[in-house]
């Protein structure tokens, strides 16, 4: 029986602000001249000038992680750029986005990437770091499930725990590279493998409940690692899957594995809700 689903719509109100990005390319959204630059003094009751508390400093969003961050299978602006554009609209501050997402990256690969002088330089200038990682660590589980089964206690949980442990190490390394005021957002997944109609077509009806169990175990480890390092865990499972019964096909590219433009917009909205950068912060 096909998975029940309902279509999600997420208006792309920021399309004119978004610039496509790939690899390490940057996109810049200019600040509104009415809100950027030094604030004009205002008169205090005693006649002495005061200045606004509004923060007009530039915002740099650095995206890191796997093919989801990289925008694989979607010829569209990634959630990294979309989030930066939303922050500009919300705060009026000048924003730029740097996307370091790498297709096929694992949590171990992220550790290697963090040793690169170029990556460390980008992190040193980051206001916000957005990280999506861990799904590729778990790819070998599919073969085990197909050949001999992969139950939670002896197969799923040990694999996700190992991923979570390495992620914790990675996040501690990120913290040594960014400024003390930088904020780090770590996302979960809607599914660490193919999902929706494509997942069922490729692996059968039994695949979804199993992959859902793997995803929930992975997400728990991701959030645990984020919280342990003092970072923010951003839930992407609920926006895509609802209570677990929603079919997210309309949010996915044709491969059933990566978000399409609508999916990237939804991720950016989840990030904005988690960290809007209050204009007066």
Which residues on adjacent β-strands are paired with residue 233? Answer: 186
User: Mean per-residue pLDDT for 151-166?
Assistant: 98
User: Mean per-residue pLDDT for 137-158?
Assistant: 98
Task: Give all strands (DSSP E) within 66-215, no chain letters.
Answer: 95-99, 128-132, 183-187
> Which residues does 104 contact at the CB level (< 8 Å), separation at least 6?
66, 67, 136
> Which residues does 131 contact at the CB level (< 8 Å), separation at least 6?
63, 64, 65, 69, 171, 174, 184, 185, 186, 187
Residue 273 has pLDDT above 60, yes or no: yes
User: What is this structure's pTM?
Assistant: 0.82
> Which residues does 209 contact at the CB level (< 8 Å), separation at least 6?
none
More confident residue, 160 or 5: 160
Predicted local distance difference test score (pLDDT) of residue 20: 35
| Multiple choice CATH, 17-24+54-274, 3.30.980.10, 3.30.70.980, 3.40.50.1110, 3.40.50.300 | 3.40.50.1110
Residue 42 has pLDDT above 70, yes or no: no
Give the strand pairing for 95-99 and 26-29: antiparallel
Residue 21 has pLDDT above 60, yes or no: no
Residue spans of the domains in the chain: they are 17-24+54-274
- Tokens representing residue 99 in the block: 């996307």
Residue 218 has pLDDT above 60, yes or no: yes
């Amino acid at each position: 029986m096909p998975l029940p689903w309902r279509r999600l719509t997420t208006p792309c109100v920021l399309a004119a602000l978004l610039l496509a990005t790939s690899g390490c390319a940057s996109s810049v959204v200019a600040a509104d001249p009415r809100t950027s630059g030094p604030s004009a003094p205002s008169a205090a009751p005693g006649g002495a000038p005061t200045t606004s508390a509004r923060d007009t400093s530039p915002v740099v969003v650095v995206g890191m992680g796997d093919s989801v961050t990289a925008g694989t299978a979607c010829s569209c602006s990634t959630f990294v750029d979309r989030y930066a554009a939303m922050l500009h609209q919300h705060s009026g501050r000048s924003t730029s986005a740097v996307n370091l997402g790498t297709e096929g990256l694992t949590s171990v690969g992220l550790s290697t990437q963090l040793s690169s002088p170029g990556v460390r330089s980008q992190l040193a200038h980051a206001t916000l770091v957005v990280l999506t990682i861990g799904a590729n660590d778990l790819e070998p589980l599919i073969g085990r499930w197909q050949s001999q089964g992969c139950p939670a206690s002896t197969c799923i949980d040990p694999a996700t725990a190992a991923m979570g442990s390495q992620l914790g190490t990675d996040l501690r390394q990120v913290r040594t590279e960014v400024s003390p005021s930088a904020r780090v957002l770590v996302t979960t997944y809607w599914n660490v493998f193919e999902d929706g109609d494509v997942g069922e077509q490729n692996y059968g009806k039994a695949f979804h409940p199993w992959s859902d169990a793997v995803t929930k175990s992975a997400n728990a480890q991701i959030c645990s690692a984020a919280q342990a390092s003092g970072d923010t865990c951003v839930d992407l499972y609920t926006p895509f899957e609802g209570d677990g019964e929603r079919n997210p096909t309309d949010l996915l590219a044709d491969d059933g594995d990566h978000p399409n433009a609508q999916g990237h917009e939804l991720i950016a909205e989840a990030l904005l809700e988690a960290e809007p950068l209050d204009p007066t912060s």
